[in-house]
Structure 1
Amino acid sequence: MIGSIIGAGVSAIGGIWGGAAKAKAMKRAKKNLEAQQKKNDAWYNRRYNEDTMQLAASQAAMRQAEESIRNRTRQSQGMAAVMGSTEEAQAVAREANAAALANTASNIAVAGQSRKDNVESTYLNRDAQVQQGLRDMEIGKANAIARATEGVSQAAVSLGNAIDGKK
C-alpha cells in the first residue's frame, strides 16, 4: 500500500514537472517564432521599400543606355558634319535617344514592380509559416495541459485506491 501511495505521488510530481518543462520549452520556441516574425517584417520593410532605380542592376542599365545614346549622338553628329544633315534628321535622332532612355526606365520600373510582387509573396509565405507555428504551439500547449491534468487525475485516483486498499 505504501508503494502504491509513493508511486502515485511520484507519478503526480513527474507529470507536473514534465508539464512545466514542456511549457518552458514551448515558451522558448514561441520566442524564437516571434523573433523570426520580427526579422521577416524587417526584411519585408527593407526590401519592399527599396528604390528600384538605386539598385546596382538598374544603375548599370541606365549607364549602358546613356552610353549607347552618347555613342549614337557622336555618330550622328559626325555624319552630319561630313554629309550634312537637316535639322529634322537631328531632331529625329534626339527623339529616338529620348525614347530609348524612357524605354530603359520603363523596363526598370516593370522589373521593380515584379520584384516587389516577389518580395510580398515571399513575406506572406513566411508569415503564414510563422502563424501556423504559433497556432500549432497553442494547440500543443492545450494538449499538454490536458495530458498533465489527466495524469494528475489518474495519480489522484491511484492514490485514493491505494489509501482505500483497492488495486
Structure 2
Amino acid sequence: MIGSAISAAMGIGGAIFGGISASKAMKKVKSNLENQKLENENWYNRRYNEDATQRADAQRILNKTEESIRNRNKQAAGAQAVMGGTEESMAATKEANNQALAEATSQIAVNAEARKDSIEQQYQAKDAQLDDALNNMEINKAQAISSAVQGVASAAGGLGTGLDDYIETRNKA
C-alpha cells in the first residue's frame, strides 16, 4: 500500500523530469533549426546577389571574346595594309566585333538569370524543409506535454489510491 503510494510519487517525479528533459532537448533542436534557416538565408542573399560578370565562367567568356576581337582587328588591319582595304571593311569588322561582345554579354546575362532561378529554387526547398522540421517539432512538443500531463495525472491517481488503501488499513487496525 505504501509501496504503491511511493511508486506513484516516483511516477510523478519521473514524468516531470522526463517532461523537463524533453523540453530542453526540443529547445536545442529548435535553436539548431533556426540557425540552419539563418544560414540558408545568408547563403541565398550572398549567392543570389553575386555580380554575374565577376564569376570565373563569365570572365572566361569575356576574355575569349576580347581575344577574338583583338585577332580580328589584327587581321583586318593587316588585310587593309596589304590589300588597301576600305573604310567599309573596317566598319564591318568593328560591327562584327561589337556583335560578338553583345552576344557574349547577353549569354552571361542569360546564364546569370538561370543561375538565380536555380539558387531561388534551392533556397525555397531548403526553407520549406526547415519549416516542416520546425512544425513537426512543435507537434512533437505538444504530444510530449500531453503525455507528461497524462503521466502525472495517472501517477497522482495511483498515489491517491495507495493513500486511500493505507488509510483504510490503518482504520481497521
Moved over 3 A (4+): none
Separation (CA, whole Å) in 2 of partners of 1:19 and 1:90: 83
Alpha-carbon RMSD across the aligned residues, in angstroms, is 1.0
Q: Percent identity?
A: 50
Question: Which residue does 2:120 correspond to in 1?
Answer: 120
Equivalent residue runs for 1:6-25 within 5 Å: 6-25=6-25
| Per-residue CA distance 1:1-30 (angstroms, 9 max, x = gap) | 010001001111001101100100000010
Separation (CA, whole Å) in 1 of partners of 2:10 and 2:32: 33
Separation (CA, whole Å) in 1 of partners of 2:9 and 2:156: 8
Letter in 1 for 2:7: G
Report deviation, 1:50.
Answer: 0.5
| Per-residue CA distance 1:132-163 (angstroms, 9 max, x = gap) | 11101110110000000000010011111112
Letter in 2 for 1:69: I
Q: Which consecutive residues of structure 1, in runs of 5 or more, have no partner in the other structure?
A: none
Question: How many residues end up aligned between the 2 structures?
Answer: 166
Letter in 1 for 2:60: A
Question: Which residue does 1:108 correspond to in 2?
Answer: 108
Q: Secondary structure at the match of 1:165?
A: helix
Question: Which residue does 1:83 correspond to in 2?
Answer: 83
Report deviation, 1:83.
Answer: 1.3
Separation (CA, whole Å) in 2 of partners of 1:165 and 1:5: 9
Report deviation, 1:84.
Answer: 1.8
| Per-residue CA distance 1:40-63 (angstroms, 9 max, x = gap) | 111111000001011121112101
Report deviation, 1:81.
Answer: 1.0
Q: Secondary structure at the match of 1:85?
A: coil
Separation (CA, whole Å) in 2 of partners of 1:132 and 1:16: 28
Q: Which consecutive residues of structure 2, in runs of 5 or more, have no partner in the other structure?
A: 167-173
Instruction: Report the TM-score, using the length of structure 2 for normalisation.
Output: 0.93
Q: Secondary structure at the match of 2:127?
A: helix
Letter in 2 for 1:126: K
Give the number of the structure whose alpha-carbon radius of gyration is greater. Answer: 2
Question: Which residue does 2:136 correspond to in 1?
Answer: 136
Pairing 1:37–2:37 present: yes
Separation (CA, whole Å) in 2 of partners of 1:16 and 1:132: 28
Separation (CA, whole Å) in 2 of partners of 1:10 and 1:146: 19
Report deviation, 1:97.
Answer: 0.5
